[in-house]
Structure 1
Amino acid sequence: MTLNISSDLIEALRNEANKTHPNECCGILLGAAGEIAQIQPATNVHPTPETHFEIDPATLIAAYKIEREGGPNVIGYYHSHPKGLPEPSKTDQASAAGDDKVWAIIGCDKIRFWRDGPVGFKPLSYEVVED
């Protein structure tokens, strides 16, 4: 499966990572199957945000409530690795739910997308579409 994402959203993900540096940014990916339509930035509430992330539970609950009410689907999550590569870390792998959500990871000024499946992360291809 190839994801579609706009160039504006790619830029917004980079901006989120830059804005929170040296801490990890985090948030929610919203859209439908195969398309990321918007991002929802969230506060990183982890006690050590420079090396870990935890999406603010209130933001996550609100996104799922909006989804249940007919709003955009929560298709995944994003976070940054300020000092690392855009690939799942050991911590990411240990904390992942295996729920088939999409993860966008920003690191080294690159963004990579991953599917969090029952047997671990698998890389996803994506296509940047112009707005």
Structure 2
Amino acid sequence: MAIRISRYVLNGIKSLSADAAPREACGLLFGEGATIADFSVTQNVAANPHRHFEIDPAALFAALRAERRGGPRIQGYWHSHPSGDAQPSITDGAMAAPDGKLWAIVAAGEVLCWRAGGEGLHGRFMPVAFVEADEPSV
């Protein structure tokens, strides 16, 4: 079953990724069930943001606290590969917890989605089909 990702989210992460190049952009994906309706951009605090990404822990903890108080559910993460393709890198595989979260990767204007688990590409990622949804952010 394909997940639904709002056009607002897809356009937003593509635009932010292009603006951040040659650095990797990153952030969080929010939604319910099989729908991603919103996103945030976070600071990339990686030691080498031209080759890696690390979501700012303060932003992640704030989103987790908000979720516990009834705020938007974190469904996954997004980041860009400004000089690569939209497939997870070996480093992505080493960083990803096998928690079932969605990873959206943006490269060359393309978005591909992956589910972090205990198998698949780099022993961690299974591809996830998605459809673009018309509804705006919630």
TM-score, length-normalised on structure 2?
A: 0.92
CA distance in 2, matches of 1:83, 1:90: 15
CA distance in 2, matches of 1:109, 1:40: 18
The answer (yes or no) to whether the contact 2:8–2:38 under 8 Å persists in 1 is no
The answer (yes or no) to whether the contact 2:23–2:51 under 8 Å persists in 1 is yes
Q: Helix, strand or coil for the counterpart of 1:4?
A: strand
CA distance in 2, matches of 1:10, 1:17: 11
Name the counterpart of 2:48: 48
1:83-110 deviation digits (Å, cap 9, x = unpaired): 0000100100111111100000001210
Gaps of 5+ in 2: none
Amino acid at match of 1:80: S
CA distance in 1, matches of 2:105, 2:32: 19
Alignment of structure 1 residues 77-116 onto 2, 5 Å: 77-116=77-116
2:132 corresponds, among 125, 128, 131, to 128
Gaps of 5+ in 1: none
- CA shift, 1:130, in A, is 1.2
Percent identical residues: 40
Number of aligned residue pairs: give it.
131
Q: Helix, strand or coil for the counterpart of 1:78?
A: strand
CA distance in 2, matches of 1:88, 1:103: 9
1:46-71 deviation digits (Å, cap 9, x = unpaired): 01000000000000000000100011
Q: Helix, strand or coil for the counterpart of 1:45?
A: coil
Which of structure 1's runs of 4+ aligned residues deviate more than 6 A? none
My pick for the range that moved more, 5-14 or 61-70, is 5-14
CA distance in 1, matches of 2:8, 2:90: 30
Amino acid at match of 1:124: V
Do structure 1's residue 32 and structure 2's residue 32 form an aligned pair?
A: yes
TM-score, length-normalised on structure 1?
A: 0.97
1:13-65 deviation digits (Å, cap 9, x = unpaired): 10110111100000000111101010011000001000000000000000000
